[in-house]
Amino acid sequence: MKNSSIIALFVAALGISGNALADEMVFTSWGGTTQDAQKSLWAGAWSPQSNIMVTQDGPTDYGKLKAMVEADNVTWDVVDVEGDYAVQAGKAGLLEKLDFTVIDKSKLDPRFVTDYSVGSFYYSFVIGCNKDAVEACPKTWADIFDTAKFPGKRAFYKWSAPGVVEAALLADGVPADKLYPLDLDRAFKKLDTIKSDIVWWDSGAQSQQLLASAEAPFGSFWNGRLTALAKTGVSVETSWTNNITAADALVVPKGAKNKEAAMKFIANATSGKPQADFATMTGYAPINLDSPGMMDPEVRKTLPDQQAQTQVNADMNYWAEHRDEIGKRWYAWQAK
């Protein structure tokens, strides 16, 4: 169905006239429960209030974004991307500069703000375990790499991104404050020790399926996916020891057709209440500095920003600079 048809149906369902929504835009994200929350909390009530119709698309695809920009045929207006990609794409000329007269960056965590991006949400790679499927759950990254003590399959993120390399180095004894620059030789040597026991997941939904079915009864997961899975009744144990943090970011592709609407959408999505509500629903931390005060203290205790004692912050600038180099080696290693 074409976007115009989708918009018409949405407008009809809301019971408003076609002229009531003066602008439209397309928001693209990763799908699953994360985009469901973004759609509901960032676009739902705001769309008719702002006179901007927000159409959803996905999943995020970096190759597609680049091709759109190069062909000067951009159909996405706001895209949820990984933080290191946002830094890299901004430097490569693939993104519009954000309008900070519309977006109030003074309210946002400065770690996740660049000229071309602002944080979408803040998450951690944590150790997750299906307690009903094993005799004991691993607590540390060293445990995840200990196949004698913890036999069986373990789940890891498939794509080249912050998280797995850092986990391997931490498991091998590298101190958290000495991770960068990443020692790739050492990391891949450590990964070799469990390679035959790794089950790769390429989406949050797949990671949940692996854990719930016990195909991989433990491994590395996005913390919010474990929160969501636990709500379905699966007996999930989460270890926050050396949780590895990163953030998604909101960007506007260069040449976006609805740039003004895009800036307004980002301003709303990163404001206090939408960020607080998103964090409550998903288990990911807010990037708006006012949001924590709007949340239930008990919910706050379960979020990454409350797990700082042994937390490891992935270096987004390092990854942006070395993303292609690491990726080339990563995929070659996986293919062996």
Q: Look at phi and psi of residue 31 and say left if phi exceeds 0, alpha if psi is from -120 to 50, else beta.
A: left
Average pLDDT over residues 105-113: 94
Kindly tell me if the per-residue pLDDT of 161 is higher than 70. yes
Q: Report residue 32's pLDDT band, with 50, 70 and 90 as the boundaries.
A: confident
Average pLDDT over residues 80-108: 97
Same domain, 203 and 83: no
Same domain, 178 and 143: yes
Average pLDDT over residues 324-332: 96
Kindly tell me if the per-residue pLDDT of 287 is higher than 80. yes
Kindly tell me if the per-residue pLDDT of 212 is higher than 90. yes
Range of the domain at 234: 123-246+309-335
Domain count, the chain: 2
Same domain, 106 and 237: no
pLDDT for the residue numbered 1: 44
Contact between residue 207 and residue 223 where contact means Cβ atoms under 8 Å apart: no
Same domain, 36 and 142: no
Same domain, 322 and 216: yes
Percent residues over pLDDT 90 in the chain: 84
Same domain, 187 and 103: no
The C-alpha torsion from 175 through 179 and 180 to 183, rounded to 10°, is: 120
Average pLDDT over residues 143-159: 97
Same domain, 81 and 113: yes
CB atoms within 10 A of CB 305: 17
Contact between residue 127 and residue 219 where contact means Cβ atoms under 8 Å apart: yes
pLDDT for the residue numbered 160: 87
Same domain, 11 and 56: yes
pLDDT digits (tens, 9 = 90+) for 224-259: 899 989 999 999 999 999 999 999 999 999 999 999
Same domain, 35 and 116: yes
pTM for the model stands at: 0.83
CATH code (residue 131): 3.40.190.10
pLDDT digits (tens, 9 = 90+) for 1-30: 444 444 444 444 444 444 455 699 999 999
Same domain, 204 and 331: yes
Same domain, 153 and 290: no
Same domain, 72 and 134: no
pLDDT digits (tens, 9 = 90+) for 250-277: 999 999 999 999 999 999 999 999 999 9
Q: Report residue 170's pLDDT band, with 50, 70 and 90 as the boundaries.
A: very high
